A and B are shown apart, each in its own frame.
Chain A
């Protein structure tokens, strides 16, 4: 890993990982490794997830009953645990997304007040 690469990548904010996992699972049940890949890929590899940190997060979500886990087989015929969004998780994703939009908007307004004023 070069220094340059490191500089371009951003460490995830506390708590945002949960949101990203929920969003990823919206597309259907996947296994842990695939979630990590998806987050990396979808963010154009800007977001760097230490893949291990995914697991405590997944279990946190299971405990809150936002997702569920079931045994399945991966693309290359390997046994793997698949994670699936629950109805409760779907609702939570909306709530969290809303919250995130508000937060991001607010922070953006603070950081770039000029640009905001220019918009209609």
Chain B
């Protein structure tokens, strides 16, 4: 530091002395004093540059220069408020939109799982070699084999969702619960805040231990620290509390979150190898790759398939995926696409501002020329201009961050709640850093071309020409850049419009899909009948009585019960073996089945195509019956009438499953999603095949909500301790099933609208500017006899040329990019020619409209005024 100060001291004087010495030498050689001085100056070179270069040796200079540039930049921005406001608003919208989407991407895709070494966590799944698809669900015996035989995991945990009722702690509460294996908490690397995790012996059959969530502990047990070792009642069975999970712990991620973890020892399918019900999470040993883990698990599955062909033959392979990826699932590609789309919006904003800057740089040409003449190096000029643009971008970035804060609040209302981790969106430091980087990147991006351009111009030409004439020098390449910017903008906008157009149509198609049932005026709710109070027989009696009473409620058209309801997210599967067509062990096709009450199809509005519905004559002792849907009939009985045919719905828990007779055929129903193709379904009467719980569905005359109160009273009059939950209308289920496509569509529409708006402004700006620039030329043309119409055509022609360029480039870009949307689209091709044509025409019209005002102004140019202007 001191060295620097001392060295730089008197630099001016040193240089002056030097020049004086040289001058003296020249005089000694016989030059006139004046000539001698100039010769010395020439020989010395550019004094200012030398001083700057010398100072620069002492590095800190760049900081001083930066500070200078910043102050100067702020002054310049203040001096042209119109430009500044437009540029900042444009960029703030672009950066803000990007920040908002990034906050979603960050929360859902990027944030690490909140566990130690989260990258070691993987989801381990079976691979179904017949369906050629992974099967996430595992049976408990297979899980034990996996855990015992593998060499690649440091811990392996299994878990399975269920619900239960907590009684004895005030009002009965319905809980989201999880059966877990003993190493669940240790594999995740989580230690309970109170008590301990499960011990190996606590996952044995029939064990009854529970770990509470922090929330449950606080709300139901008043954060009582003496809770450990106490007994609580779940589904009328006593459980010993051994721990309380730390606050914020939620795994597996569910809405609403899991409230209690109990042992897999409680499941009734504990030792059934064919009962697939567990998710498996593994912690890979350090140094082992996901691929190696997959190879190892496939090896084990191959052995198991040989050892237990009945249950495992088709699952001779395994799939291992990083847990984060598994968790995020389908949301992944959609979010990246949205992120890309919003990036386009920012690029368009950049192009607009670059275009503005170029126009402004014309008016600053003389300033730049003077700077260069006074000794500013090219890099110095560029860095000053870049400082200005980055400054502009940073101001916009701050504003954009504010916009994003406001925007994410809106986003949160819009986002589908079934996207994992979406509720954890927050504007944290990472998001702020993103905004900052986006702003700096943006500033350099839109500032670079204008800065390079301005600095390239020769100062002499600029200074020599004066006044309006200065506008012409350098105008030609500049206009070329501006044109290129407009073409780029239009191409980007067209691509976004195309994406939005396809998504919109896809969404409309989705809305038009007939779900196969009538979702309007249908109320649904459910409750759990505790196992220890109600035997299965008692449960079926309870449901039977409840249905009778519901059916006679005023305002109720009909009532029924089923598990699971379409679009509600659950599924039950069974293997099908048709009578007279024996299949190899373990290879019987798997189909989805439902358990329904009499009147279910009528209540849901599902058409009965043939045969009959279930009725009260179907009982536990009557002949076993089944109803199938159209797709089932088509697949298994393509050329015959299925009614009267028989097949087995194989129950893995039973050694031999009985034959059932088909008594009816019903229409196909969308089970999982509106965009799925019809799949075979079969339905069993709840009186004959009861899975332990049912969801009630009530068809109402008027608003479904109106009936809710009386229905609740009715249930409570039969058993006051039953909490009702999942109270929803079928319309809500349908709405939730399209929440994700709706979110994608709305966002793409917003981005496309922003893009279109910005592009329109961009085209208008370029055309208006070129007309102003050419006022003189237009004046001459008109003085020489050009008609107003011709002038207008000239300007419009230019605009059309630009627009066509943009549209052609945009179509090429869209053709290349639209296939990314393929998985998100429904009922429309990514190359839909009508959409392409429509978007292209719409963009053309917008471009024409944007050109019209400048063209009109050009037409009105008064040749006298224009020429005098010179």
Residues in chain A within 8 A of chain B (CB atoms):
31-33, 36-37, 50-53, 55-56, 59-60, 62-63, 69, 74, 76, 78-81
Contact = CB atoms under 8 A, between A and B. Distances in A.
Given A50-B45, A52-B50, A53-B45, A59 B18 contact: no
Contacts of A60: 57
Contacts, number: 66
A69 B11 CA distance: 12
Most chain B Cβ neighbours within 10 Å, of A32, A51, A53, A69: A51
A73 to B, nearest CB: 11
Contact of A52 (B25, B44, B57, B58): B44
A79 to B, nearest CB: 7
Given A63-B58, A81-B10, A51 B17 contact: no
10 contacts: A33-B18, A50-B43, A51-B43, A52-B49, A53-B50, A55-B14, A56-B54, A60-B57, A63-B3, A79-B17
Given A51-B22, A52-B47, A63-B3, A33 B17 contact: yes
Interface string B1-45: 001101110110011011011101100000000000000000111
B14 A81 contact: yes
A69 B7 CA distance: 7
Contacts of A53: 45, 50, 53
B56 interface: yes
Contacts of B46: 52
Given A55-B14, A74-B17, A74-B21, 4 more contacts: A56-B54, A62-B3, A63-B4, A80-B17
Contacts of B4: 63
Secondary structure class of chain B's binding surface, majority of residues: helix
Nearest to A64: B57
The 5 closest A-B pairs by CB, nearest first: A52-B50, A52-B45, A56-B53, A33-B21, A59-B57
B3 A32 contact: no
Interface of B: 3-4, 6-8, 10-11, 14-15, 17-18, 20-22, 24-25, 43-47, 49-51, 53-54, 56-58
Contacts of B7: 59, 62-63, 69
Contacts of B50: 52-53, 55-56
A79 B16 CA distance: 11
Contacts of A59: 7-8, 54, 57-58
A46 B237 CA distance: 104
B17 A78 contact: yes
Contacts of B22: 33, 51
A32 B14 CA distance: 8
Contacts of A78: 17, 20-21
Contacts of A74: 17, 21
A76 B14 CA distance: 15
Nearest to B22: A33
Contacts of B51: 55
A94 B432 CA distance: 53
B28 to A, nearest CB: 11
A83 B191 CA distance: 69
Given A51-B45, A62-B3, A81-B10, A56 B56 contact: yes
Contacts of B17: 31-33, 74, 78-80
Contacts of A76: 24
B405 to A, nearest CB: 47
A51 B18 contact: yes
A50 B44 contact: yes
Contact of B54 (A31, A33, A36, A55): A55
Contacts of B45: 50-53
Residue among B4, B10, B21, B51 facing the most chain A CB atoms (10 A cut-off): B21
Nearest to B24: A76
Nearest to B6: A69
Contacts of B53: 53, 55-56
A53 B18 CA distance: 12
Nearest to B7: A62
A53 B44 CA distance: 8
A41 to B, nearest CB: 12
Given A33-B21, A63-B58, A55 B15 contact: yes
A36 to B, nearest CB: 8
Nearest to A34: B21
A15 to B, nearest CB: 14
A80 B18 CA distance: 9
A69 B2 CA distance: 13
Contacts of B24: 76
Given A59-B7, A79-B17, A51 B44 contact: yes
A51 B3 CA distance: 23
Contacts of B6: 69
Contacts of A31: 17
Nearest to B51: A55
A53 B45 CA distance: 8
Nearest to A59: B57
A36 B45 CA distance: 13
Contacts of A32: 14, 17-18
Contacts of B3: 62-63
A99 to B, nearest CB: 22
Contacts of A50: 43-45
A25 B741 CA distance: 77
Contacts of B58: 59, 63
B446 to A, nearest CB: 33
A37 B43 CA distance: 12
A117 to B, nearest CB: 43
A67 to B, nearest CB: 10
B31 to A, nearest CB: 13
A74 B15 CA distance: 14
**Which of A31, A53, A76 has most chain B Cβ within 10 Å?**
A53
Contacts of B10: 81
B791 to A, nearest CB: 51
A105 B593 CA distance: 89
A63 B24 CA distance: 31
B109 to A, nearest CB: 48
Nearest to B10: A81
A111 B18 CA distance: 39
Contacts of B8: 59
A36 B54 CA distance: 16
A5 to B, nearest CB: 13
Contacts of B49: 52
Contacts of A69: 6-7
A76 B27 CA distance: 15
Among B3, B4, B24, B43, find the residue whose CB has the most chain A CB atoms closer than 10 A: B43
A86 to B, nearest CB: 12
A60 B22 CA distance: 23
Contacts of B15: 52, 55
Nearest to A65: B3
Nearest to B13: A79
